Structure 1
Amino acid sequence: MDQEAARKLMARHVKNKNLRKHCLAVGAVMAALARHFGEDEEKWAVAGLLHDIDYEETKEEPDRHSLVGAEMLAREGLPEDVIYAVKVHNERHGLPRQDRLSKALYATDPLTGLIVAAALIRPEKKLAIVDVPFLLNRYQEKSFARGANRETMAACSELGLTLEDFFHIGLEAMQGIAAELGL
């Protein structure tokens, strides 16, 4: 499945505008991480785009989130490593992150929320004015963007990335689609 098909599939199942933007952001960051590591950009972007495909269906049952999504993706014929990465990104299942793809998706999911929150607290409400030092400062503030799990983001170390490098890759990727994100 390519990114265009993944976007269409995501749009059929994800109706909430902000959740769609989150999926787009995760897809962009995953593509950038794949580029950084010399991995398959298309595959990684598709994993990011589709990681929350079941969220609206399972939001009241968080223990089912990502398992239902993985089943949906299996029916669509996606590769097993993409399906597994989608399952793993929900830490409630306690599944081990066995490869770069699953490690990257796990750490990236909350990163996009931190970056969006950092843009939204600025008067301009634009990603263009956010920089890595600003993100690192906000990361240290426990009360800022509470939903963006710091421990999960710190798992970027499993990829051999520092927080600074991870934030740089993620921010640059999201700045590249800022118009689509409305930021």
Structure 2
Amino acid sequence: MLTRDEALSLMHEWTPSERLRIHALGVARVMEDLARRLGQDPEVYGVAGLLHDADYDRWPEEHPARIVAWLEARGEAELARAIAAHATVRTGVRAESLLERALVASDEVTGFVTACALVRPQRTEGLEPRSIRKKMKTPAFAAGVDREELIEGFRRLAELIGGTEDEHFQRVVDVLHAHRAELGLA
């Protein structure tokens, strides 16, 4: 099993952009929290979060094929499939397992909530789901975040674990707030 330290090292090696590194760390923290809540292995979930975009900076046209191939070569089929499933349009792999759905449900929302926090002087402190929903209605805000994928990812995760959109948003805010120093949100 690939360890978190090994995944972090590879992510740093393959990802020169500090912005994308911070995104990967945020997704990893959100995934670890979800794993703990669901009785799953936080290390596996965290590694998926750390590596989901590892090849994007260097090989954007091939993303996520490079990291998927690297994981498959190491015998990490579960992680490879989860990362392939977070890019269904490119890979044709649909998220089915809990890990796969968790990654899809954590990726876009983590980026969006981070963007919401960065435009506030108090960052994550007091950030509420209704503010996030309001920002989602502004297409120019965090335009790179696919709103449809964000909502669909949550919907598919909720099919397995339940919960509301607002509960999901609040959990992500709480996780990012708890790790705000590490994620540049202090």
What is the TM-score of this pair, normalised by structure 1?
Answer: 0.90
Measure how far apart 1:100 and its partner are.
1.0
Give 2:184's aligned residue. 182
Give 2:167's aligned residue. 165
Question: What SS does the aligned partner of 2:120 have?
Answer: coil
User: CA RMSD for the aligned pairs?
Assistant: 1.6
Q: 1:157 to 1:128 in 2, by over 3 A?
A: same
Give 1:13's aligned residue. 14
Q: Could you list the per-position Cα deviations for residues 78-120 of structure 1 after superposition, in whole angstroms to 9, with x for gaps in the alignment? A: 5311110111111322321120111111121111111111112
Q: Could you list the per-position Cα deviations for residues 118-170 of structure 1 after superposition, in whole angstroms to 9, with x for gaps in the alignment? A: 1121134x222322222122223333212111111112111224211211221
The separation in 1 between residues aligned to 2:7 and 2:64, in whole angstroms, is: 16
Query: More helix per residue: 1 or 2?
Result: 1
Give 2:92's aligned residue. 94
Query: How do 1:117-136 residues align onto structure 2 when only pairs under 5 Å count?
Result: 117-124=115-122, 126-136=123-133
Question: What SS does the aligned partner of 2:58 have?
Answer: helix
Give 1:150's aligned residue. 147
- Sequence identity (%): 31
Give 1:84's aligned residue. 81
Question: What SS does the aligned partner of 1:10 have?
Answer: helix
Q: Could you list the per-position Cα deviations for residues 30-71 of structure 1 after superposition, in whole angstroms to 9, with x for gaps in the alignment? A: 111112222111100010001111111222x1xx21111101
The separation in 1 between residues aligned to 2:133 and 2:37, in whole angstroms, is: 20
The separation in 2 between residues aligned to 1:74 and 1:80, in whole angstroms, is: 5
The answer for unaligned runs of 5 or more in structure 1 is none
Give 1:69's aligned residue. 67
Contact 2:54 2:67 in 1 (8 A): yes
Q: Could you list the per-position Cα deviations for residues 5-42 of structure 1 after superposition, in whole angstroms to 9, with x for gaps in the alignment? A: 22112111111100100000010011111122221111
Question: What SS does the aligned partner of 2:57 have?
Answer: helix
